[in-house]
Structure 1
Amino acid sequence: MKKQSTPSSPLIVLFNKPFNVLSQFTDGDNRQTLKDFIALPNVYAAGRLDRDSEGLLVLTNDGKLQHKLTHPKAKTSKTYWVQVEGEPDEQAINALRSGVELKDGLTAPANVKRIPPPELWERNPPVRFRKHITTSWLSITISEGRNRQVRRMTAHVGYPTLRLVRYRVGNWTIDGIENGEYITLS
């Protein structure tokens, strides 16, 4: 097994990733990547955030921290602000709180709350809205990291995700970080 490195001066980067940006530094198809926003050497994303998701992405040059944040056994909690189509009823909310059966198994229970629409940046392109279908916002906290998990969970209970913003990873949040900007911690 490869030994995880700990640099003499660990660097943590908190990046507020815009919509339509890949969580990697290179892409053969000329799409926007982290290199278009972050000009720091030797930092790597601790986990992923899908291209169509926005919000907090943690990067670091510390292999041990990166492993801790991404390894399923560490159960690092992450909070997402999720705009869904429709107004989830109590049955749907309770199903998310209890865990839902997806193709790759039962999800762990999630902490789910209804929230007022958060004050966010404009998304480009904007979320598509249907004239006669309302939308609502949920705060969903999970400690798993399955592929597109939150989107699959909300779809499973009948309320597809329209916009997904990761607000928090562990103790870090996007508070005070403009979309497309980052801050460094050392």
Structure 2
Amino acid sequence: MAILMAQSGYCVTGIDSSEKMLREAEQAAQINEMSIHFECGNAQQLDFASNTFEVVVSRNLTWNLPNVTAAYTEWLRVLKPGGILLNFDSNYGSVNFAAEAEKKENVHHKLDKKILWECENLKKDLSISQKNRPQWDLQCLQRVGFVDCSYCADIRPMVHCSQDMQYDTLPLFALCGYKPVYCNM
């Protein structure tokens, strides 16, 4: 997502809690000749001043956060008044990754089953896995202070254009909300 945003002309700061993922992102940015600032950080406690960013974009993150409400609150804080949040995610709580990986057409079928079961057990402990998404997210955004919130329930036809992506049968939603123009956060 960071590369796509940079290619679209944005000045991009990419955040991840994994140093290894950041190194891979930096390499991808170099290969694509994109200037992107990457930082190790926690999406639920960002190390940025309030009213810093015009846009916050998240892809496949909220489904594995311990406190999604804290993340949405934090993202509202760092957005400038009138800024927009774009969150692309799925209701992964409803899927058993280990069981799905048994299918040959599944992207995870070659992964170590022990790791997949570990992932499955971790996911069960996350409260977001029990929520009806994206409806829950929409209500949460409104509760924490976002306005003009909306979502598209399934954007797969728009983004899964290659055959390699046809394995993913779970809807991928797009969610957006705006920080009010007159907001003291």
- Give the TM-score of the pair, scaled to structure 2: 0.24
Kindly indicate which of the two structures has a greater share of residues assigned to strand.
1
Kindly indicate which of the two structures has a greater share of residues assigned to helix.
2
- Higher relative contact order (CA closer than 8 Å, sequence separation 6+): 1
- Give the TM-score of the pair, scaled to structure 1: 0.24
